[in-house]
A and B are shown apart, each in its own frame.
Chain A
């Protein structure tokens, strides 16, 4: 069993080094127990880090989906206004976000799996640490240093193997989380810069600007129609009432004419 045996020998060598370090093997028990508690803290922190990372990816997925919905809405609006070219542009930007979303979804599932594995590992280590604590007390109470040696060796090797295993899992999860944080940071920056709003690279949302200007244009037309309508129904009132109003408008228009304009305004007030 070469691979199997060799890996286990390396783990055993680590445990033996810990045992050799102490003169009284019973001291090893306390030392090892301290290390176990530290490892438990480390694993729990690892679980929390992975969960934080997963939540961040989730938020980003939500933002991207919102962005896609917005583009979908814009495409509909553009099509409604007879602008197929603009609708096509919006839909193609929506499609461009798909690959980013897929990437985030993969990260999310991978982090979720890591979180579950680490949680199980942390529970297993917790059980073993508790079993070790009980054995430690028994060994210290009932055995002399010489008698205790073999029992301590067994307990320490067993737990040290578990710690090595869990330690590697935490290390791996942390490395992966760090990588994902870096990628998440890059996406956050892209979102903040507005580049994701518009894949073509222009800083502002030009589709929305065009839709707005189209709508703005329509509104002006409507307003004009309404004003024309008003003029048509009550033209006399509008002309009589409009004389003073046009003077007032002239006053606010030009700062250079302000001195001249003040006179009719003062006259109006008196």
Chain B
């Protein structure tokens, strides 16, 4: 599967990593729903670290859409909440 980290680019991640990444993603979602900033930051950084560790960057001229997209490391809680509700400004 292809995962994009916003601001960093796309990575190819083996499907076998799904379960592990899903668990980290669930923790991230919970933190967002709870509005828990420290938990949110930890969960986001943990998820991004695993994706970076497991993934291989895609070549710049690949035009494939990503299966999953992740917020950038310094995104704040409100920004991510806005993205999830579609209120965030995503140009393009």
- Chain A: residues with CB nearer than 8 A to chain B? 1-8, 10-15, 35, 39, 117, 121, 123-124, 127-128, 130-132, 135, 154-155, 157-169, 171
Contact = CB atoms under 8 A, between A and B. Distances in A.
A3 B29 contact: yes
Contact of B92 (A14, A124, A154): A14
Given A128-B61, A155-B63, A169-B7, A7 B83 contact: yes
7 contacts: A1-B68, A3-B25, A3-B70, A124-B9, A130-B61, A158-B64, A164-B90
A4 B63 contact: no
B91 to A, nearest CB: 3
A237 to B, nearest CB: 84
Contacts of A123: 60
B56 interface: no
Contact of A163 (B67, B84, B88, B91): B91
Given A164-B92, A168-B91, A7 B61 contact: no
B54 interface: no
A144 B80 CA distance: 41
B66 interface: yes
Given A1-B18, A154-B63, 8 more contacts: A3-B29, A12-B65, A15-B65, A154-B64, A158-B65, A164-B90, A168-B91, A171-B91
Contacts of B62: 128, 131, 158
Nearest to A6: B84
A4 B90 contact: no
A46 to B, nearest CB: 12
B55 interface: no
A7 B65 contact: no
A161 B7 contact: no
B65 A157 contact: yes
A161 to B, nearest CB: 5
A10 B63 contact: no
Contacts of A10: 83-84, 86, 88, 90
Nearest to A36: B92
A168 B75 CA distance: 11
